[in-house]
Structures are given as structure tokens and as C-alpha cells.
Chain A
């Protein structure tokens, strides 16, 4: 299985894709949510998946999380099939949904302590505080109960979780939707930092500009099919916008 995810560099080194899908398909009766999807995300790459509602972005993430089982094909995290060893694959990843919900009666530190604890990490309280600060949370918020937190603050706890878990893969489902511009920018910066540290990131989003600014790769999905997949540096923001609109209008454009 791992051999499917290895790529050979010019220097004859092998690099492992952290996120891989091969012919990944998910059907609900006659409806095809994801159709023969092939994706690869290496260490340090950020793949932004664009697409309208129902394009299959969230389904892809749910398949990678093994929340749902594929009809056919494979989803691999760090070279391991998520359906065969879901516990192992989840130890490599952190998932931040659109609206990250935490336990309202617990503080940020307590929430982080719980989630890292159940994922098998033993981390001291002071270290947890450091991670939360690193994720951009204010010091005075560390021991406040979550019910008073904004969405942006909760997302930062999610990033702190990824840092604390020393995560290899970050799966994000529209994490900046509903965030104010300042919080969005802060969050984007955090993602770039994570990427620079070698974390492979797959982010589903509607935000073309955000995708262009932080993504190393962009994929456009429509009706469960990955219509385009390209490097961000190869396209301007105007070009991306045009391509996206054309794709949504069923006009495939090859780059």
C-alpha cells in the first residue's frame, strides 16, 4: 500500500505522500458524491479544494477521516489505508471542521488536555499552555471556559491541538468561513507556519483568494470529480477566478 504513495525525486530519494486517494468513490444510491478521485499531498504542501456546495469536498475529508466508508478506491494517510487502520491513521492527523466545537464547561487548556490525552499524548499543563500561546491564543484566555470563546479563538485551539499532537496531516473543512478578516489572516498565517514545518494540509474552502494566498496547490471539484488540480504559482488570482467560473459552468480548461 505504501508503495502507491512514494514518489522518486531527481536525487533518487523517495518522498511519501502524506495524503493520497486512488480512484476514491463514494456513492449514495444513484448519487455519486465523490467520483474516482486521485489526490496527492506531500509534506509541507497545502492543497486547497475549491468547489460549490455538494461538490464533494467535505465528503472527501470525511472519507479521509474514515467517518464514512468509500464505495470503492482507497484513501491513505501517511501511506496507511484509513479503512484498515483508522486508529493509526488518526494518530497522524488533526481535523478542524468549519465550526470547531469544544466542551463549553471546560477551559482551553482542559479541552486541549482532553483531546491530546485521548489521542495518546501525555503533555504537561505548562506545555499545553505554550502550544495554545503558539497558536495565537491570548494568555488571559487560556483558563477561561470555552463557552465565552469566539469561533476564531476555538479554531486556534484546534491549531494548538495540531501542534501538540505533532500532527503530520491537517484536514480543514472551510475553517475560515464566518471569521472576520483579521482572524482569517491570523489563521492563514498559522497554516503557513504549520506547512513550513512540514505538515501536509488539505483544506476545503469556498474562498478563492484565501486559496490563492496560502495554497501550494489548488484543486477544483464539481459533482464529485476533481476537474482541475494545479500549482498555485502557475495561476493569477484573475485566472483562478475565471477558471473556477468556467469549471462551474461545465467548461473544462486544461492548463
Chain B
């Protein structure tokens, strides 16, 4: 019986000119979106591979020099474009893709894609996530806003009710039929993306399971939108009213709610300005040990402590180069300060995320947006994770270089130069984004929120159609 309803509703949808026009527009958009994203993905990763190889070659071919010169020469940590960014670019465009790693300083990621584009890019790009998040719900509205109102307006409701069909079966049949076109389109999109990505696996670990998880999130999103649209249709008396209300819900949920969330989060937990942040870091750095300054009070205290620890009277008697040792201690002090201030930023980020999550109650768009970016590894969390990995690599590099300097020379031995093997022996920077299970664990509350939306919307729909 439900199958009969699905077939009949689908026939009506397919024969409707609105659907044919919508389908043409959406398929065209999808083709363009996949083409653009796929090219962007390939080009970015080619550039990433080239830059990584070139930069490492530069590091390896430094020749003989003091390790601290090499520390100032610096190197780069590059962030790859992860496979699922083909579908959801998330914040990748606005976060930098490389971090310059040098002595004494933690740098921000730079060279964001947005910075390479014209101001018009502020209007947004045609990407698969745009189509999935904004256009598909619109398609659901366009094909199903009158699912129930047309029965009332067309007078078929009387004949329908007189057949003795249970309302929940009728509702379920209509619900599946309304959802089906978008599910088919999404399946095609994800299928194409999967085939493309599995053939481009050189650029990252592509996982069909992650792709399926992303697909599932979007399907739940469409289920919620279908339930809401049908709920409105069941409550409205006229199709025109149902359409206006559904479009209003779409606009508020997809456009207004994220902006409200963003404004509230910024208002309640603002980030410090870049100037404030730099001033605070510099102020605290000055209060501690500077590896380059042997005359500071902190340097003298360190000197005394080390002499006492090794039971010697002079720095010359130490079994290592105290200058390099002091450099390392200064590095550790600065790293601590950076860590402290970045932790403050991360805490603000967590607080802002909390605001976003609580506002997700007002729109199903928000949990889907978060989950999609998280699974695609294109959210801020992953960027923080990458930036932390780069910082840890920087700290390890400084330790490696200072250690080499300290062990291979004596105090005030300015002539020591490390050979090229020293640079080659430094392990390359490697970063793997969080795995799917960790991402899902980290987003449990958001998953619950999305399922809550599904429960509430479908529950309300079946309740409202109980007495058609």
C-alpha cells in the first residue's frame, strides 16, 4: 500500500513541470560544482606536493652552517587538501595552507585560498556543499510544499479518506516520495565523488566509510527538511501559504541562523585582535628568558643553576655548549608562552563552538554544517589540530638543532657548523587529520542534535496528519 502511494506521488512529481525545471537546474549546478571542485582539489594538491618537495629540498641542501642559522632559515609545514574537501571545503578557503616554522616564533598559517582571489569570492563559490546544504532543501520544498494542500484544494482528500487508508501509511508514502528525488540526486553526487576520489588516492587517504558517513548526514538533513515541509503542508490550508512558510523556514534555517549563531558567539566570546594577541605574547616573552641575551637576569639565573647542577665553576667546563643550551631553554620558555596564549584562543573557540551547538536547536542546518565539515576534515578543529602539530614539529626541530649545537661544540665555540646530514636527518613534517571514529566521538552532541531534529520534525508530522 505504501509502495502504491510512493509510486503515485512520484508519478505526479515527475509529471510536474516544476520538478523538470528544478531537476535541470540542479543537475547543471551539480556538474559545474563537481567539475570546479575536482579541478581545485587536483590543482591544490599538485601545488602542495610541489611545494612540499621543493621546500624539503631547500632544507636538505642548506650546506654547512650553524644549527641556529638553520633554525632561523626555517622550513614550512604544509596542510594537504583532504579527499572529502572535494565535497565540503569548509573553512579551508579562509585558513592558511602553510605555516613557516622558525626559531623563537610561532607563526600563523598563511596563503589562504581566499587571499588569492578577488573580492567577488566573498559572494561564495559554487561547490558541492553549497548545492547539498542550500539547493537540495529548496528542491524538497519546491516538489513537496503542496503534498497535502493539493489534496485539500483539489478535493481528492475526501475520496482518499473514504478508502480507509491509515493516515500514518499515507504520510509515510508521501514522505518517502518527497524525499526520493533528492536522495537519488545525492546518491549520484556522492557516487561520482567516490569514484573520482578513489582514482585520486595519491593525495590522501580516501575512505569510502567516511564518504558514506558524510552521505548519511546529508540524508538525515533531507529527512528533516522533508518532514518540516510536509508538516507545513499538512497544517496549511492553501498551497501558496505552505510555500511561503516553507521558504521562510528555509531562509531562516539556512541563512539567518548561522549568522545569528556567529554574531552571538562573537559577542559573548570575542577573540582578541591580532594586535592585542601579539602585544600580550611579546610582553610575556620579554618577562622570561631570551636565548639570544646572555646578560639578562633570567640568563644569569640559568647559568648559576646549571653550574651548580654540574658542580663546575665555569661554563667552559660544561660538557656541552651552554649558549646552545640557553637557546633551547629560551625556546622552551617562548613555546610555553605561545602555548598559553593559543590555549586561550582555543578556549574561546570551544566556547564559541558551544554557542553554535546550543543554537543548533533552532536550525537543522547548523548541526549538518558542523558534521559535514568535521567529517571532511575541513573545520576549524582540524585546522587547530594541524596548527598544533606544526607547532610541535617546530618545537621538536628547535630541540633537535639546539641539541646538535650543544653536544657538538663548547661554550663560545663560534666556529661549529653542522654538516648537510644534520638537515637530512631531521624527520619530515607529517600530519594526519583525526580519524572518522574520533571525529564522530568528538561530535556526539551534534549528532544527537541532528537526530533530535529528525525525531521532532517527523514526530510532529505524523502527529499533525493523525486527523487529516
Q: Which residues of A contact B (CB under 8 A)?
A: 65, 67, 86-91, 93-95, 97, 99-106, 110, 113-115, 117-120, 158, 171
Q: In the assembled complex, how far is the CB of residue B227 from the closest CB belonging to chain A, in whole angstroms?
A: 21
Tell me, in angstroms, the Cα distance from A38 to B417 when the chains sit together.
Answer: 113
What are 27 pairs between A and B in contact, CB < 8 Å?
A: A65-B161, A86-B164, A89-B164, A90-B163, A90-B164, A91-B164, A94-B162, A95-B158, A95-B159, A95-B162, A97-B155, A97-B159, A101-B155, A101-B156, A102-B156, A102-B159, A103-B12, A103-B154, A103-B156, A105-B15, A105-B16, A110-B11, A114-B4, A114-B8, A115-B159, A118-B4, A118-B163
Contact count band on B: 20 to 34
Residues of B within 8 A of A90 (CB): 162-164
A-side interface mostly: mixed
Q: Does B5 contact A (CB under 8 A)?
A: yes
Tell me, in angstroms, the Cα distance from A104 to B151 when the chains sit together.
Answer: 11
Q: Closest residue of chain B to A173, judged by CB?
A: B158
In the complex, the answer to whether B158 meets A119 with C-beta atoms within 8 Å is no
In the complex, the answer to whether A88 meets B164 with C-beta atoms within 8 Å is yes
Tell me, in angstroms, the Cα distance from A131 to B18 when the chains sit together.
Answer: 33
Tell me, in angstroms, the Cα distance from A94 to B11 when the chains sit together.
Answer: 25
Q: Does B184 contact A (CB under 8 A)?
A: no
One of A86, A97, A110 near B8 (C-beta < 8 A): A110
Q: In the assembled complex, how far is the CB of residue A12 from the closest CB belonging to chain B, in whole angstroms?
A: 34
Residues of B within 8 A of A101 (CB): 154-156, 158-159
Tell me, in angstroms, the Cα distance from A117 to B4 when the chains sit together.
Answer: 6
Residue in A67, A95, A118 whose Cβ sees the most chain B Cβ within 10 Å:
A118
Q: Does B113 contact A (CB under 8 A)?
A: no
Q: In the assembled complex, how far is the CB of residue B194 from the closest CB belonging to chain A, in whole angstroms?
A: 35
Q: Does B274 contact A (CB under 8 A)?
A: no
One of A67, A94, A102 near B161 (C-beta < 8 A): A67
Tell me, in angstroms, the Cα distance from A102 to B157 when the chains sit together.
Answer: 9
Residues of A within 8 A of B11 (CB): 105-106, 110
Q: Does B260 contact A (CB under 8 A)?
A: no
B-side interface mostly: helix
Residues of B within 8 A of A120 (CB): 1, 164
Tell me, in angstroms, the Cα distance from A100 to B154 when the chains sit together.
Answer: 10
Residues B144-170 near A (CB distance < 8 A): 154-156, 158-166, 170
Residues B405-463 near A (CB distance < 8 A): none
Residues of A within 8 A of B1 (CB): 117-118, 120
Q: Closest residue of chain A to B1, judged by CB?
A: A118
Residues of B within 8 A of A87 (CB): 164, 166
Residues of A within 8 A of B15 (CB): 105
Q: In the assembled complex, how far is the CB of residue A143 from the closest CB belonging to chain B, in whole angstroms?
A: 13
Tell me, in angstroms, the Cα distance from A102 to B16 when the chains sit together.
Answer: 16
Residue in A90, A102, A103, A113 whose Cβ sees the most chain B Cβ within 10 Å:
A103
Tell me, in angstroms, the Cα distance from A171 to B155 when the chains sit together.
Answer: 17
Tell me, in angstroms, the Cα distance from A118 to B156 when the chains sit together.
Answer: 13
Given known pairs A97-B158, A101-B154, A102-B159, the reply for A119 and B165 (CB within 8 Å) is yes
Q: In the assembled complex, how far is the CB of residue A36 from the closest CB belonging to chain B, in whole angstroms?
A: 25
Q: A65-B162, A101-B154, A119-B165 are in contact. List 19 more A-B contacts (CB 8 A).
A: A87-B166, A88-B164, A90-B162, A94-B162, A97-B155, A97-B158, A97-B159, A101-B158, A102-B159, A103-B12, A105-B15, A105-B16, A106-B12, A113-B4, A114-B4, A115-B160, A118-B5, A119-B164, A158-B159
Residues of A within 8 A of B163 (CB): 90, 115, 118-119
Q: In the assembled complex, how far is the CB of residue B152 from the closest CB belonging to chain A, in whole angstroms?
A: 10
Interface string of B1-22 (1 = CB under 8 A from A): 1001100100110011000000
Residues of B within 8 A of A65 (CB): 161-162
Q: In the assembled complex, how far is the CB of residue A51 from the closest CB belonging to chain B, in whole angstroms?
A: 20
Residue in B1, B158, B160, B170 whose Cβ sees the most chain A Cβ within 10 Å:
B158
Q: In the assembled complex, how far is the CB of residue B11 from the closest CB belonging to chain A, in whole angstroms?
A: 6
Q: In the assembled complex, how far is the CB of residue A224 from the closest CB belonging to chain B, in whole angstroms?
A: 21
Interface string of B46-62 (1 = CB under 8 A from A): 00000000000000000
Tell me, in angstroms, the Cα distance from A88 to B165 when the chains sit together.
Answer: 10
A-B pairs, 5 with minimum CB distance? A90-B164, A101-B155, A117-B4, A95-B162, A119-B163
Tell me, in angstroms, the Cα distance from A171 to B158 when the chains sit together.
Answer: 12
Q: In the assembled complex, how far is the CB of residue A24 from the closest CB belonging to chain B, in whole angstroms?
A: 18
Tell me, in angstroms, the Cα distance from A6 to B83 when the chains sit together.
Answer: 75
Residues of B within 8 A of A113 (CB): 4
